[in-house]
Structure 1
Amino acid sequence: MTWKQNGDSFFGLKSAAYLAALFVCLCSIARAQDSAIQLSSPNSDFAVSGQFLGYDGQFIRVDTTAGEVTLAYDGLICDGASCPDATFVPTVRFSGAQRMGQIILPPLITAYARDIGASVTVEPGIDGVVAFHIRSDTGGNLMQIIVRSTTSADGFADLVANEADIVMSAREVTAAELALARESGLGRLDRQGRSRIVALDALVAVVSPEAGMTQISLESLSRISAGEVTNWAEVGRPEGAISLHLLPDWMGQMQGFQTRILGPAERTVSADAQRYATPEGLAAALMNDPRGIGVLPFGALGDTQPLRLIGECGIGVAAGRMTLKTEDYPLTMPLFLYLPERRLHPELDALLGWLRRPAAQLVIRRAGFVDQTAIPIPIGQQGDRFAQAISAAGAEVPLVELQRMVRVLGPQVRLSTTFRFEAGSTRLDAQSRSNVLQLARDIYDGRHDGRVLMLVGFSDGRGPAIANRDLSSARADVVRRAVVAALGEGLPPSVTLETEAFGEALPMACDDTIWGQQINRRVELWVADRG
């Protein structure tokens, strides 16, 4: 059987079960000690031998001398200890980031089982492995989920080694991991549909409440983290040696910190940094060190003092639920599930689809992370943002343009859904690709019926204002095309999707850094009822 994907669209498909055609199979059963099997047809005109890789209840995967093959299992004769039988239970293996495997996934699995009228039995293992057995109300086994809590890097390694089906990652997949996955026949993990953002986290610069600090610039944080600044006097604070508290480099979020904050300046983390195995250990140590500074996940700040990140022009932003959703906070770290190009068993397909539902978003919030539910932001609550725009607008942004912006946006409500692009590219970044799919699903489900949706483009302030307005308009068009493509069957007549652009008229960060420029290059979503 051949599965065909229509571009990146899946919302045109009428049944969630058909998502298997796009998100491909990841389920397999535990491999027997001897996984060699032989498959043949009843009339013996066909036979294939190899190592058993997985079975989803309909299709079996075998690693042969000619490569991996997938065959419809019904009607085949199977010989070998690993041959599936009538007792088959769909099993999916998650491997990767500890915070996801230990904090997010267990309550999500439990809540999903409750929603479908099933129960969960938890079976702890060794080396961070836990098995979740989901059973129907009649006692039948629906699915087994095995979760290995380790590191993001180990999760990708397990996937390539066929020891995992889904990767839990606290960072984006690296170029080397992408190449290895493709070489291993797992497809392109960076394609739309190959990754799902489960929740949003962030890294937050923190100090002891006794330090008397409330903000720091990204450049100062970068230089301190690299060991280039070792005394507080060098960044305008009272004299005193700086002690740096960090989590281990193997944590996905710290790898993201290196990529985003230190990488652009070709810096690396200072060898003098004090390391802690857990966020709780770091927070406790920092509370007793008024001259220290550290970086913690958003959901694990404890009683430390979080620092607002500022730029040279004075515009700053603090980590919060809203600023993570809008990606205005520069150290927002999405938490990913990465899926290879294989078919999905319907039970797993249903679970992954449920993760986007309101019930799952509530679980994510209760676990201390930020969910992806769009939040309305009336213009009356954006006084500070517009005040910053007026004070920071360059000479090329006339008053008439600011007045036009307020006149256009005034009758509308902004949603927290925001779209940004990869550095130096017209490709949407990972969080924004997820936002495209979520917006398309909301349109498909009728949540925006009777509304006018406006995608509003903004730019950084580098270059001529007229050219920047054209660039921001082009970005808004890119997002509109992506949303329409995700819908597949086209925009429903009950929804209007428009674009507008204001260029550099509403900066959210200073343009003196790469981070600030990326924050300002964005497309916002504004909504209003049809007149």
Structure 2
Amino acid sequence: MTSFRAAILAALFLLLQTVSVLADDVTLRARDGSIALSGTLLGFDGEFYRLRTDYGELTVDGSGVLCEGPGCPNLIDFVAELSISGSATIGRVLMPALIESFALRNGLVAERETLAEREILYTLRNRETEKVVGRFALRVSNTDEGFADLLADEADLVMALREIRPSEVTLAKEAGLGDLLKPNRSQIIALDAMVPIVSAANPVSALSLSDLLRILSGRLTNWRELGGPDAPVVIHLRDAQSGFAQAVEDRLLRPRGARLAEDVTRHGDNTALARSVSRDPFGFGLASFSEIGTAKPLVLTGPCGFRLAAERRTVKTEDFPLTAPMFVYIPARRLPALAREFLGFTRSDAAQIVIRRAGFVDQAPEEVPVDLQGDRFANAIRVAEGAEGLAALQEMTRALADMRRLTTTFRFEPGSATLDAQSRSNVLQLARALEAGLYDGRRLVFVGFSDGQGAAAGNLKIAQRRADAVRKAVLEFAETADLDRLVIESRAFGETMPMACDDTAWGRDVNRRVEVWVE
């Protein structure tokens, strides 16, 4: 009752006037009859009412009021409603698999119904009573339409293959949806990657990051320049409205001041793109890691001799520089309890198994011993310079030889000290693991690395500051962790173990990172 009175008084104070409240769809009346509030019912999650009133949009605890009017929900037979819109890459396979697994693990039956070509409805029933407890509606389109549906109040969640753009952030704030840039307003549910592909008939097997940019911008137009046939490069990409294609421009082209070539063949889905490239001996495409089909993936390389292939582990660690997080954006409104439980489930160990089976890369941390580090140590030996470089490499090897690297890695926005989207998610994930006691009795070391630009001593200091900053961020979020049960340290090895060549901004971005090693 006190919270209900406070909400009304606060709204009156902000307006600095008394507003005559006229009945609209519903009236919420305090149980003692002392206060009444009328307006348009925007939603009810089984616990709270969301109401548009003359005082603005208010959320009211249902336990302290009685609802009157034709728009009032049935409290006894309440059904949780959730509308999810956006990326077809997420919505066609992954999201349905997560919904069905969530239902199975919670004693529910998920009945799937196709309402239209791009619309799917899941009705969730209690397995024992057959009572309907939820309806989850999926609108499978693209990232642009997902955000449009959210802004039009036609979706509760957005499935996105790119980060939200500044214009969408502004519109969301104006629509009362909160700041969608805040950590709790988005969630990475799986990982994908932008993989360069060609036909199996094409002799080219590797591509530098610089040449990738030249192809996309239309400055490299003949395969002969890459050791292939004397034939034009035919670029294949997803449709311009897809989050995947927009991520190509947002992450690869625009930061380098480049524009996409005009002559591009577009495709409505990933399967069609991969199929077309596999049949085109002169085709080149950027495909989803989960849907390469029979096309041949190209290894990323550079003048220093490094080779980076798109594999599950390199995508999870972001060692492969074209990793693409798959987002769910969540507005600042209260979702029904069943919907909140579903979002919690998507972070669980059970959900990570579902994600792997669906063909995407999960976020469950894995421990990788030194002998399974691939070419990392070999590459480090290759680029070590002089006695000082070899001494630093030996020191690093001694320090890490008996430890295992977690696939949880932290990287930064290009040219910034701000963690990128996947790393911000990793902060929360590792913090939850510490709170759950998963690393009790063990030693965790946050290890900072840098690129090779500038003096080695300066790079070492920068890498140490980054390692300290990431360690601090994780501990700040791990509020309930018992830190006396484990040892958490930070140290740095600067430019000792690069992951890519320093000849491009992409390569330098990959090298600037903080890894987590455990013993």
TM-score using structure 2 length? 0.92
Q: Distance in 1 between matches of 2:334 and 2:258?
A: 42
Q: Distance in 1 between matches of 2:136 and 2:271?
A: 28
1:208 aligns with 2:199: yes
Contact 1:55 1:84 in 2 (8 A): yes
| Aligned residue runs from structure 1 range 158-237, under 5 A | 158-237=149-228
**Aligned match of 1:95:** 85
| Aligned residue runs from structure 1 range 278-293, under 5 A | 278-293=269-284
Q: Distance in 2 between matches of 1:83 and 1:345?
A: 16
**Aligned match of 2:297:** 306
Contact 2:437 2:481 in 1 (8 A): no
Paired AA for residue 41 in structure 2 = F
Aligned length: 498
| Aligned residue runs from structure 1 range 425-464, under 5 A | 425-464=416-455
Q: Distance in 2 between matches of 1:383 and 1:159?
A: 43
- 1:192-230, Cα deviation, whole Å (9 max, x unpaired): 222111110111110011101211112212221222221
1:130 aligns with 2:140: no
1:296 aligns with 2:287: yes
Q: Distance in 1 between matches of 2:331 and 2:410?
A: 25
**Aligned match of 1:512:** 503
Q: Distance in 1 between matches of 2:405 and 2:174?
A: 43
**Aligned match of 2:477:** 486
Label 1:417 to 1:42 Cα distance change in 2 as closer, same or farther (>3 A).
closer
User: Over aligned residue pairs, what C-alpha RMSD do you find?
Assistant: 2.0
Contact 1:53 1:162 in 2 (8 A): no
Of 498-507 and 71-80, deviating more is: 71-80
Q: Distance in 2 between matches of 1:228 and 1:522?
A: 31
| Aligned residue runs from structure 1 range 233-312, under 5 A | 233-312=224-303
Runs of 5+ in structure 2 lacking a partner?
5-22
**Aligned match of 1:20:** none
Give the match's secondary structure for 2:426: helix
Q: Distance in 2 between matches of 1:160 and 1:52?
A: 18
**Aligned match of 2:348:** 357
| Aligned residue runs from structure 1 range 18-167, under 5 A | 36-42=25-31, 44-86=33-75, 87-126=77-116, 128-137=118-127, 138-167=129-158
**Aligned match of 2:13:** none
Paired AA for residue 495 in structure 1 = L
**Aligned match of 1:10:** none
Runs of 5+ in structure 1 lacking a partner?
4-33
Q: Offset at 1:142?
A: 2.5
TM-score using structure 1 length? 0.90
Give the match's secondary structure for 2:229: coil
Paired AA for residue 57 in structure 1 = G
Contact 1:97 1:155 in 2 (8 A): yes
Q: Distance in 2 between matches of 1:328 and 1:254?
A: 21
Q: Offset at 1:280?
A: 2.0
**Aligned match of 2:493:** 502
Contact 1:50 1:65 in 2 (8 A): yes
Q: Offset at 1:80?
A: 3.7
Q: Distance in 1 between matches of 2:412 and 2:193?
A: 18
Q: Distance in 2 between matches of 1:511 and 1:501?
A: 19
Contact 2:204 2:226 in 1 (8 A): no
User: Sequence identity of aligned pairs in percent?
Assistant: 43
**Aligned match of 2:405:** 414
- 1:338-377, Cα deviation, whole Å (9 max, x unpaired): 1122234332222222212221111111111010111221
Of 362-371 and 84-93, deviating more is: 84-93
Q: Distance in 2 between matches of 1:293 and 1:133?
A: 42
| Aligned residue runs from structure 1 range 327-346, under 5 A | 327-346=318-337
Contact 2:185 2:331 in 1 (8 A): yes
Deviation beyond 6 Å, 4+ runs, structure 1: none
Paired AA for residue 26 in structure 2 = I
Label 1:501 to 1:396 Cα distance change in 2 as closer, same or farther (>3 A).
farther
Paired AA for residue 119 in structure 2 = V
Contact 1:35 1:82 in 2 (8 A): no
**Aligned match of 2:7:** none
Label 1:267 to 1:80 Cα distance change in 2 as closer, same or farther (>3 A).
farther
Q: Distance in 2 between matches of 1:57 and 1:35?
A: 21
Label 1:124 to 1:397 Cα distance change in 2 as closer, same or farther (>3 A).
farther
